[in-house]
Structure 1
Amino acid sequence: MLFIHVTVPAHTAAVEFVDGTPVRVLESGRHRRARRATYREVDLREQLLSVSPQEILTVDGVQVRVSAAVRWTVADPIAWLERAADPLGLVYLATQVALRDAVAGLTLDSVSQRGAGLDAATLTAAVDATARPLGISVLEVVVKDVILPTEVRAATLELATARARGAAQLESARAETAALRSLANGAKLLDDHPALARMRLVQSAPFGTQLVIKLGDEAANDA
């Protein structure tokens, strides 16, 4: 049998087929091969599968739209090439089903905060169980967006606006109360100290009026 060499690029594996049957997986590097053999390269780098938003009913009957992303890599090159005609399509479907099962058991409040109620580990395990026989390792399933109905978004905005308006009114009332308390303390201080009251009156009056008030006070003192 006559041999030549085949070079497998970095981050890649090559599946060797002899007479149409997969025989072995070659890692990156230079390998000897038979002329009868054919090779198919498989990218082993981490990749991303985006799952478009799908409409799901929560346990309280509100319809939300949820999207996700799946981090995955090929774990078994032969299974990746041989088990399914469209392995990523099956992983996509498994992700949709896992999201539907997870959201269907939660209330709207649980999923409204970017899927805060969804357990990423549970989602990942569910999708990985389907992906493993296809030669795929699912590293993580990430919930990207949770889109609420227009009516719910409007109600949420109205509630946030009302809270902000109430907080502003409360702060204004606190400032007004502090100002009145300061005025009351000042008035009491002036009542207790008449000389201070006259001094305050002189300071607040125009210059000509200040002179008249000062002369009147001096005359009163002389008398």
Structure 2
Amino acid sequence: MFKKVIIQTGERGLLFRQGNYVKHLQPGTYRFGPFSEDTITIMNVAKPFYVPNKDVQLFIQDEQLLKELTIVDVQDYEYVLHYEDGKFVSLLTAGLYVFWNVLKRHTCVRIDTREPEMSAAVERSILPKLTGYYQTIEVAGHEAGVLYYNHVMQRELRPGKYYFWKGPVHVAGKTLDLRQQQLDMTGQEIMTEDKVTLRLNFVCQYKIVNPLKSLEIKSFEDQIYILLQLILREYVGTLKLDDLLKMKQEIAIFVLSALNRRSEDYGVQFLSAGLKDIILPGDIKDILNTVLLAEKKAQANIITRREETASTRSLLNTAKLMDENQTLYRLKELEFLEKICEKIGTISLTGGGNLLEQLNSLLSIKESKQ
């Protein structure tokens, strides 16, 4: 009784004799004698080439078989993008892969992960199928980024989204905010030249203009703070308290100028600076309040004396004019008489004569007494 084996169109056969590979078989019908030691392993050409418990190297020596196979040897530092008839199927990591090329056309794109940045040729639509094999670095529109390979700075990254393969090279990115930023110094204790310890609240605004330079500085913001602190100490330490209180605007101008002389060292541009508050010790504040009160009282006394002097001078000038002009003197008398009459409710007359004559007599008596 012969053994019959039928190989379909979408199949191929591998002939073994006493367990050793002999050749591959095309579709058709094959018969073997009852005592034959030949066996056939039937392969589905729609699936990858794989023979259980057999090393693939046993088969790729067959030149006829090789014509119907696509072999992909992926190195340790590589990824391979596997496509079937132009459609992405899978990502292949290190290893040897064999596919039948009978029904489908297999193409591969090799990726060298030693150059981790993903090429623009890689279609971004397949990225959801590559989860775990790549990483991204995003730089917002108001930021600048810096790229590092194995902790070594590579280049500056402009706003955008960047893709990198995971592999032997460690990829990292840092971003810096390029918008205007503010540095607040609050409650900074500084001693003046006359040994008065006071506290200052100071503020400055800056923005980063050279990200690569800024990232070369460890603890960037702390060092900017220390720079501001030293400049303030340098300036305030040369002034006495009274001078300091008079020169608030000059402090801001000096500090901003000093900061910008060092700005290139930090990769920044200082835009403005200002002194918000000067906080004095309690005893010094009481003394200054006492001095201020005394000064204001002295100023008030001076103003009072000035007004009294001006009033007296005005009276003297008026008297001189009345001495020189009897008509003016008479008008002044009538003015005072009018004021007296405004304050009198009733007038009683004694004796004869009319009211005007009596008033004239009063004025005459007054003049004779003078």
TM-score (norm 1): 0.72
Q: Quick check: 2:232–2:255 contact (8 Å CA) kept in 1? A: no
* Residue among 158, 169, 193 paired with 1:27: 158
**Paired residue for 2:197, among 53, 60, 63?**
63
Q: What code does the residue aligned with 1:124 have?
A: L
8 Å contact kept, 1:91–1:127: no
User: What is the DSSP-based 3-state SS (H/G/I as helix, E as strand, rest coil) of the residue aligned with 2:194?
Assistant: coil
1:212 matched residue in structure 2? 357
1:11 matched to 2:149: no
Structure-2 residue corresponding to 1:46:
180
- What is the 5 A alignment of 1:141-180? 141-180=273-312
Higher strand share: 2
**2:222 matched to which residue of 1?**
89
Q: Deviations over 1:85-127 (max 9, x none)?
A: x321222223222322322222223322364554224541576
Aligned partner letter, 2:143: T
Q: In the alignment, what sits opposite 1:221?
A: none
Q: Is residue 209–residue 269 contact of structure 2 (8 Å, CA) maintained in 1?
A: no
Aligned AA (1:74): I
SS class of match (1:183): helix
Judged with a 3 Å threshold, the aligned counterparts in structure 2 of structure 1 residues 68 and 136 are, in CA distance, closer, same or farther, namely farther
* Mean Cα deviation higher: 39-48 or 147-156: 147-156
| Pair 1:7–1:160, CA change in 2 (3 A) | same
| Gap change, CA 1:110 and 1:192, over 3 Å in 2 | closer
Asked whether the equivalents of residues 214 and 268 of structure 2 are also in contact (C-alpha less than 8 Å), the reply is no
Distance 1:32 1:93 in 2: 35
**Residues in 1 aligned to 2:234 and 2:328: alpha-carbon distance in whole angstroms:** 77
* Greater displacement, 48-57 / 179-188: 179-188
Measured after TM superposition, the shift of residue 17 of structure 1 is: 2.8
Contact 1:110 / 1:117 at 8 angstroms: preserved in 2?
Answer: no
Taking the aligned partners of 1:136 and 1:20, their CA distance within structure 2 comes to: 21
CA distance in 1, matches of 2:179, 2:327: 87
Which runs of 5 or more structure 1 residues have no equivalent in the other structure?
A: 218-223
Write the letter of the residue equivalent to 1:211: L
Say if 2:243 is the partner of 1:113.
no
> Once superposed, what is the RMSD of the aligned Cα atoms?
3.4
Tell me, yes or no, if the aligned pair for 2:201 and 2:278 is still in contact at 8 Å.
Answer: yes
* Paired residue secondary structure (2:179): coil
| Aligned equivalents of 1:185, 1:114: Cα separation in 2 | 46
TM-score scaled by structure 2? 0.47
The number of residue pairs the alignment matches comes to: 211
For 1:47, the aligned partner's letter is Q
Residues 109, 175 of structure 1: alpha-carbon distance in 2 compared, 3 angstrom cutoff? closer
Between the aligned partners of 1:47 and 1:194, the Cα distance in structure 2 is 80
Identify which range, 1-10 or 162-171, moves more after superposition: 1-10
